[in-house]
Amino acid sequence: MRILFWILTCLLALQLGCASVSDRPQTVRELLQSEENLTTVRSPDTVEVIALSIAGDVNPYRKFDTQLFTAPEHVHLRSAPVALPAELKSALSKKLVTNDSYYWEGVKGCAPFFHVRATFTRRQNVIIADFCFDCELVYFRHGDKILSSGDFMPARAELLSLFRKVIPNNHILEQQAAQDKEHKSKPSN
């Protein structure tokens, strides 16, 4: 069974254009692809956060298409944009530009359904980060171009807590927090 899982994971990685883990970004700088983009996330003038959901019926077995999950016609905005106050803006930026906030050693085999979007603006540069808490992936975009994705599993609890403060009473974020609490309360084998 493990061999079958490994083969399927490798096939998915090839489908996504990631022939191996070594082809994946290994630093935040590589995720964001330029010093200007890194600076925009590290020291933004503004950060706005909004709750998202995917529109329409999405067949999870279809060929993975990142455009499906980021194209405006497929994304419903579930809340009004919230401008982060300085303290939360700083906390989010610090978490996203810290290499320890990411798991660099693997490729996840899932198609994300984004729950939260954070838009970082510095002067004229805009970086969008779309977060899926089901698979713990964040996709970074610059305009319509997807820069890369990262596995934010090590920072999941802190990011979820921050977003729950900004978007209170969001059933998806509350559900994610409840799952985390339930998972922590179960004894490990």
**In whole angstroms, what is the distance from residue 53 CA to residue 166 CA?**
17
- Cβ proximity of 155 and 41 under 8 Å: no
With tokens 């067949």, the residue in question is 59
Residue 182 within any structural domain of the chain: no
This prediction's pTM: 0.78
The whole domain housing 109 covers: 15-176
Residue 3 within any structural domain of the chain: no
pLDDT in tens, 3-43: 544 444 444 444 444 434 557 788 999 999 999 999 999 99
List of E strands, the chain: 46-54, 75-77, 82-83, 116-122, 125-132, 137-142, 145-151
Number of other CB atoms surrounding residue 69 within 10 Å: 20
> What contacts 93, CB < 8 A, 6 or more positions away?
41, 42, 43, 44, 47, 120
pLDDT of residue 157: 96
**Token pair in block for residue 61:** 């077995």
Q: How confident is the model at residue 74 (pLDDT cuts 50, 70, 90)?
A: low
Residue 144 within any structural domain of the chain: yes
pLDDT of residue 101: 97
pLDDT in tens, 106-119: 777 777 888 999 99
Residue 8 within any structural domain of the chain: no
Q: What is the DSSP string of 121-162?
A: EETTEEEEEEEETTTTEEEEEETTEEEEEEE-GGGHHHHHHH
Residue 137 within any structural domain of the chain: yes
Q: How many structural domains compose the chain?
A: 1
Averaged pLDDT for residues 155-171: 94
